[in-house]
Structure 1
């Protein structure tokens, strides 16, 4: 039997449930045939709690639409990874954390790619049990370690990762849950494992999103689960620049993602203060 997931690890089941719900939509932005299987029984229960505060029956919606945010994020990073994998010198993809992501199974990958999934042992054990018999479409390697541990670099190299070769890293659903000091430490360590010109992507919320009233109902749900959102940054470009990256941070609903047609909330200008905002970050190692 796989180990029991803790509060933060269970958020991966929420993401899977969101992807399963998106897959069932007629206007879906992508199709994930494994999401429902990965979500299990717990994922839909977590999603129901999120939907209760996102779409209240007795008042107008004030919190951002978690389903739309997740759908746009998944589609955006699908495209980022597929583009990166087809670059002539690219040979390594790293998902950290991997959670219940099924891109190794549902997307087509070019030959020669090594695809690493890094996550805590309990998460990877659970995922393996749910996908028993399903074959990945890529040279798929799992690394059972926490990114805040002291050994993950050695574990990743032992799995076949070469820090001297170009790589592409996706930090999806990570930075919300680790404190600022640890965020800087993790980004420094990741940068040290990436050859110049390697690519990186991540999602992050603005700092104000942790304190403005129209986010509080959703923040309360996550805090009630035992996995509070503890970090955000209104200048992701500056945050990543401190660690050797040149990135662009785009908000859902802006020109880079508006073609998906799924973000109906206002998109605040970067100059606006004390407003919630969310970013999809992408760029390269200098």
Structure 2
């Protein structure tokens, strides 16, 4: 039940509601037939709050368009994971956290791929209940553990993960919800169990996105849900490099991260005091 989820865990239902809304569009960037089921009644309620502040009636939009952002993010990471899986040597894909993600169910994957979903027990239990009777289309393993727990790596290895083999990691929708020290710890721990050549992808906001006055409406919604945004960086490449990953960071609207859907200008990296979000992807040194 959604009532068993805490504030941060419930944001997974928001993401599912956004994916359900995208699936209903005629110009959708992907199709997620399980998103509506996963979002339940709570997801659309959360989405309604986001829409109310993002698209205020009678006033110009000043906040980033969450529906367009989420659509681009999902498609960007869909493509990233599918490209990684085409490599015959890439046998391990890890979603951490997995949330209400349904890629293991809605997309086709090569037989050589082993799929790991890491998330808190309540999240995985909710997802298992909502998808009762639906079979994944890949060798699928769940790891019920919090990523800030002292030894989640042992649980992952016990589920069949081999740190000596190449892996692909997706850290979607997590880094801005956790304090900076925890973000560094998670990246460091992922690096320690990723062999050179392993892949990684993530999304992250910049520092100004946490403080700019015109972001207040969106930030207040998340803070009101008791899951405020806590961490951002203006140098995502440097952040990931510190932890052993060479990455490229794209903003929505840039080539390769647009898909014809980003509605706003893309500020150059040299411009200061503007909100940004980055899609990061790269490899372990």
CA distance in 1: counterparts of 2:8 and 2:271, whole angstroms = 31
CA distance in 2: counterparts of 1:88 and 1:215, whole angstroms = 43
Residue in 2 aligned with 1:93?
93
CA distance in 2: counterparts of 1:279 and 1:240, whole angstroms = 12
CA distance in 2: counterparts of 1:276 and 1:254, whole angstroms = 15
Contact kept? 1:202, 1:282, Cα under 8 Å: yes
Secondary structure of the 2:26 match is: coil
Contact kept? 1:2, 1:122, Cα under 8 Å: no
Q: TM-score, normalised by structure 1?
A: 0.98
CA distance in 1: counterparts of 2:110 and 2:124, whole angstroms = 24
CA distance in 2: counterparts of 1:63 and 1:221, whole angstroms = 12
Unaligned ranges ≥5, structure 1: none
Aligned structure 1 segments of 4 or more residues deviating by more than 4 angstroms: none
Contact kept? 1:73, 1:280, Cα under 8 Å: yes
Residue in 2 aligned with 1:225?
225
CA distance in 2: counterparts of 1:28 and 1:256, whole angstroms = 17
User: What CA deviation, in whole Å up to 9, does each residue of 1:220-239 have, x standing for no partner?
Assistant: 00000000000010100000
Q: TM-score, normalised by structure 2?
A: 0.99
RMSD: 0.9
Residue in 2 aligned with 1:30?
30
Secondary structure of the 2:129 match is: helix
CA distance in 2: counterparts of 1:79 and 1:4, whole angstroms = 32
- Alignment of 1:107 with 2:107, yes or no, is yes
Residue in 2 aligned with 1:179?
179
Residue in 2 aligned with 1:242?
242
CA distance in 2: counterparts of 1:169 and 1:35, whole angstroms = 22
In the TM superposition, what is the alpha-carbon distance from 1:3 to its structure 2 partner?
7.1
Residue in 2 aligned with 1:277?
276
- Alignment of 1:132 with 2:132, yes or no, is yes
User: What CA deviation, in whole Å up to 9, does each residue of 1:47-102 have, x standing for no partner?
Assistant: 00000001000311000000000000000000000000111210000000000000
Contact kept? 1:33, 1:106, Cα under 8 Å: yes
CA distance in 1: counterparts of 2:108 and 2:192, whole angstroms = 29
- Alignment of 1:52 with 2:52, yes or no, is yes
Q: How does 1:69-80 map to 2 (within 5 A)?
A: 69-80=69-80
Check 1:113–1:2 CA distance in 2 against 1; reply closer, same or farther (3 A cut). Answer: same
CA distance in 1: counterparts of 2:15 and 2:2, whole angstroms = 19
Secondary structure of the 1:117 match is: strand
Secondary structure of the 2:128 match is: helix
Aligned length: 285
Residue in 2 aligned with 1:265?
264
Contact kept? 1:86, 1:110, Cα under 8 Å: yes
Check 1:86–1:247 CA distance in 2 against 1; reply closer, same or farther (3 A cut). Answer: same
CA distance in 2: counterparts of 1:90 and 1:269, whole angstroms = 34
CA distance in 2: counterparts of 1:70 and 1:3, whole angstroms = 24
CA distance in 2: counterparts of 1:130 and 1:191, whole angstroms = 33
Secondary structure of the 1:249 match is: strand
Residue in 1 aligned with 2:191?
191
CA distance in 2: counterparts of 1:283 and 1:255, whole angstroms = 16
In the TM superposition, what is the alpha-carbon distance from 1:105 to its structure 2 partner?
0.1
